[in-house]
Amino acid sequence: MKIDAYSHILPARYFERMRELADPRPLKRWLELPALHDVDARLEMMDEFGDDYQQVLTLSSPPIELLAGPDSSPDLARLANESMRELCDKHPDRFPAFVASLPMNDPDAALDELTSAVDHLGARGVQVFTNVNGKPLDDPEFEAIFAEMARRDLPIWMHPTRSAAFPDYAADDTSKYEIWWALGWPYETSAAMARLVFSGLFERHPNIKIITHHMGAMIPYLEGRIRLGWSDQLGSRTATEDAAHLRRDLSRPPVDYFRRFYADTALSGSAIGTRCGLEFFGADNVLFGTDCPFDPEGGPMYIRETIQVIDGLDIPADARERIYHRNIRRLMKQSAS
């Protein structure tokens, strides 16, 4: 069994509403991917991988809070969640679960939608993006959402968001050469992880479960900088930072908290990156995920190559089973059928 823990979809009803709200120019990529919004194309694509391949559905970017203001984002989130529930009900053998979307630009409404989506629609977690219209996730107004997910002991899927409007240099107006995506998204994820760690999230909620997209981004590769550069030298490079306060509030070295995140294998088929992330997070915290359907073939390529990478890892069979399906089932509290 292989359960793809991080695949993206835009259900048809939601997709039509999104097209009404969004600037059509940036949507070109989405329109060219039938498997993203055409469920028949999606199912046909999945057939290549046999009956034991399933997908946990997460809503594709852009974030809901970029599409609609607080006055209408709750309705948009509800449409997304109801539409994904319908897909799971219609195709339970392919889509065993979905992840709820939240109107994060209205934190009170987001908490209401979290409750409704989990309790009434059966969502097995929620998805948040690495910032909310530029506001970091460790902002106090989002604390209740993290606290509630920790209380429920259900996972949070965290997806990067950044656009060309975020320049790479102060002298520029925009990011060039899609640096905002290729390098900016890994930075976004890593920065969000750091903000959550140093704001004390894992101290307040020791058992919180957060799934980072793309194998924890830069964190595994930068283990040395985190382990040595942050542990004993935190604050020494910035005169205005209260290093003593930061060290006092964290009961463990920073790297220990970073290892508590979960990470998927959505690395565009990178065997080197997968081995690095697996060594950092450990087999219990790594989940099979592909980023389907955002590959050059429109869906199957990343699945095929990610499976090839995982099957080629020099790990015990039990560890491979945990990565492929046992870990995500445990996180979602779903037993094997």
Tens-digit pLDDT profile for residues 42-92? 999 999 999 999 999 999 999 999 999 999 999 999 999 999 999 999 999
Beta bridge partners of 157: 127, 211
Tens-digit pLDDT profile for residues 140-149? 999 999 999 9
Q: What is the pLDDT of residue 217?
A: 97
CA-CA distances (angstroms) from residue 202 to 4, 54, 110, 182, 258? Answer: 26, 31, 21, 29, 10
Q: What is the pLDDT of residue 18?
A: 87
Q: Is the peptide bond before 70 cis (omega within 30 degrees of 0)?
A: no
CATH number for the 2-332 domain, one of 2.30.30.30, 3.90.1150.10, 3.20.20.140, 3.10.310.30? 3.20.20.140
The residue type found at 323 is: I
For residues 85 and 132, what is the distance between their CA atoms, to the nearest angstrom? 25
Give Cβ neighbours of residue 274 (< 8 Å, ≥ 6 apart). 215, 265, 267, 309, 310, 313
Q: For residues 113 and 102, is the Cβ–Cβ distance under 8 A?
A: yes
Q: What is the pLDDT of residue 250?
A: 87
Give the residue from 29, 27, 7, 11 showing the smallest Cα distance to 19: 27
The pair of three-digit structure tokens given for residue 297, joined into one six-digit string: 């073939």
Q: What is the pLDDT of residue 241?
A: 61
Q: What is the pLDDT of residue 218?
A: 97
Give the neighbor-by-neighbor strand order of the sheet with 2-9: 2-9, 53-59, 97-98
Give the residue from 216, 277, 224, 282 showing the smallest Cα distance to 253: 224
Task: Name the residue ranges covered by the structural domains of the chain.
Answer: 2-332
Which residue's structure tokens are 């900016």? 184
What is the per-residue burial (b if ≥16 Cβ within 10 Å, else e) of 161-196? bbebebebeeeeeebeeebbeeebbbbbbbbbbbbb
Q: What is the pLDDT of residue 240?
A: 61
- Mean pLDDT per block of 10 residues along the chain (337 residues) reads 97 90 68 90 96 97 93 96 98 98 98 98 98 97 98 98 93 95 96 96 97 97 90 68 68 94 97 98 98 94 98 98 98 82
Tens-digit pLDDT profile for residues 161-197? 999 999 999 999 999 999 999 999 999 999 999 999 9
